[in-house]
């Protein structure tokens, strides 16, 4: 496998709180991450793509196109934002690092064909470091 990974960063705030759970259960499950006024992180976002090396350019994917895709589909709405309030998907989904990674992967997969229309290049995986101690990775194939 040939895989290229580009690293991005975004700063965001969030609160971990499940509407369907009681106050006590939320506290037990999310601890201080359930703080009602929110808290925040500097997320590291690694986007991995797979494909053959283009004979002409010597690249698996154009950096400019990939960066523009990630900026438009993700960073524009995630960077310097409150995830619970400003990203629609998290109105009904707790923004854990798992759900943040899955939502980012879903967005990239949706927007993919409009930027990389044909051929062998495909989105491989999305990896989120919420903190250096808490990392979530998702295979793009998991997203239908």
Nearer to a second copy, 73 or 128 (CB): 128
Structure tokens at 107: 């967005």
Transcribe 100-143 into DSSP letters.
Answer: HHHHHHHHHHHHHHHHS-SSS-EEEEEEEEEETTEEEEEEGGG-
Residue 22 in contact with a second copy, rule: CB under 8 A: no
Strand partners, 44: 9, 129
Residue 80 is a catalytic residue: yes
Residue 49: other Cβ atoms inside 10 A: 22
Q: Residue 45 in contact with residue 128, Cβ under 8 Å? A: yes
Interface pick for a second copy out of 62, 72, 77, 111 (rule CB under 8 A)? 62
Interface pick for a second copy out of 27, 29, 109, 115 (rule CB under 8 A)? 29
Catalytic residue among 33, 99, 103, 129: 33
Residue 64 in contact with a second copy, rule: CB under 8 A: yes
Catalytic residue among 17, 99, 105, 130: 130
Residue 13 in contact with a second copy, rule: CB under 8 A: yes
108 Cβ contact list (under 8 Å, min separation 6): 47, 69, 70, 73, 74, 123, 126, 140
**Contact positions toward a second copy, by CB under 8 A?**
1-9, 11-14, 16, 18, 20-21, 29, 31-33, 35, 37-42, 46, 53, 56-60, 62-64, 79-82, 85-86, 93-99, 102, 131-139, 142
């Amino acid at each position: 496998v040939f895989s290229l990974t580009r690293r991005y960063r975004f700063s965001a705030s969030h609160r971990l709180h499940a509407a369907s759970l009681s106050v006590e259960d939320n506290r037990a499950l999310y601890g201080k991450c359930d703080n009602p006024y929110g808290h925040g992180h500097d997320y590291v976002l690694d986007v991995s793509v797979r494909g053959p090396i283009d004979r002409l350019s010597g690249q698996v994917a154009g950096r400019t196109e990939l960066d523009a895709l990630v900026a438009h589909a993700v960073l524009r709405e995630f960077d310097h934002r409150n995830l619970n309030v400003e990203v629609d998907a998290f109105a009904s989904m707790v923004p854990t690092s798992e759900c943040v990674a899955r939502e980012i992967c879903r967005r990239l997969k949706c927007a993919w064909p409009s930027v990389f229309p044909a051929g062998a290049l495909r989105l491989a995986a999305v990896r989120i470091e919420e903190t250096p101690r808490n990392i979530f990775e998702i295979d793009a194939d998991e997203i239908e």
